[in-house]
Amino acid sequence: MNSNELEARMRAREWFHSLTVPPGAWAIIRVDGRGFSRYTEGNFDKPFDARFSELMTTAARSLLEEFTGRYAYTESDEISVVLPPGFDLFGRELEKLVSISAAVATAAFTHAAGEPVRFDSRVWIGAGVEDVVDYLSWRQADAGRCALNGWCYWTLRKAGNTQAQAARRLDRTGVAEKNELLSRHGVHFEELPAWQRHGVGLWWETYERVGHDPIRGADVTTTRRRVHVSRDLPAKEEYRRLAERLVLGDRP
């Protein structure tokens, strides 16, 4: 068989290779930890562990830098990275975006933690800035819901309830009831650290650096860029306004 003919036949079977993010569309890469419920329960404090949050932030920073995204957001075991309409990495190929983002997150977290973990990835597509802001608001709302549920569940568990008992007590329990449950155990949800309730945001900022030019014999100032990490994000409408500025490339 002719080698060129064989190669053409084999490449034709790469059915999804031609899938790309549509021109002019916004894209958000979201990676999620695989099997992290069991992994975190055996290695970190519950319901929240500052060390785990730092590891997720490290992975989020690596993704933001690798893909030169506009904004990255992490909560629980997930990370979202916003890519503007003009991005052209890997020809906007979905296979590349998914596979490389999962690999970058896995490598960054594994290196920082000193033990192997795995992430999977997906790509969300939006038509405009409002879509992106809606997405980010959705993920932050999920962060708040999960934080409240997590604090209630682990408060009950630490009070002596089994998994099944804690789950039954929380079944069909409203937000007010959950807050009351925590209050009875001395936990005031709205006073917990913002990173637990609202997640962590990362974006680019510019700063000036002073150096010395030995040839001219003078100090010089250069403008550079670095990743800013915010563990004190606002919520609801204030967060929407911040998110809109960031995805448009404006600085807060």
Which pLDDT belongs to residue 17? 78
Identify which of 58, 38, 54 has the alpha carbon closest to the alpha carbon of residue 46.
Answer: 38
pLDDT at residue 54, rounded to an integer: 98
- Alpha carbon distance 146, 150 (integer Å): 6
Residues in the chain, pLDDT under 70: 1, 14, 210-213, 216-217, 219-221, 251-252
* Spatial contact of 200 and 75, defined as CB atoms under 8 Å apart: yes
Q: Where are the domains positioned within the chain? A: 16-197, 200-235
Class of domain 16-197 as given by CATH: alpha beta
At 57, give phi and psi (nearest 5°): -65, -40
Q: Which residues contact 100 (CB under 8 A, 6 or more apart)?
A: 66, 90
> CA 111 from chain center: how many Å?
18
pLDDT given at position 213? 67
User: Distance between CA 68 and CA 66 in Å, rounded?
Assistant: 6
**Within 159-248, where are the H helices?**
163-170, 175-184, 194-198, 236-247
What is the SS3 assignment for 32? strand
DSSP string computed for 97-149: HHHHHHHHHHHHHHHHHTS---EEEEEEEESSHHHHHHHHHHHHHHHHHHHHH
Model confidence, pTM? 0.91
Question: What tokens appear for 30 in the block?
Answer: 């979201």
pLDDT for the residue numbered 221: 66
Distance (Å, whole) CA 152 – CA 168: 12
Instruction: Report CA 149 to chain centroid distance, whole Å.
Output: 20
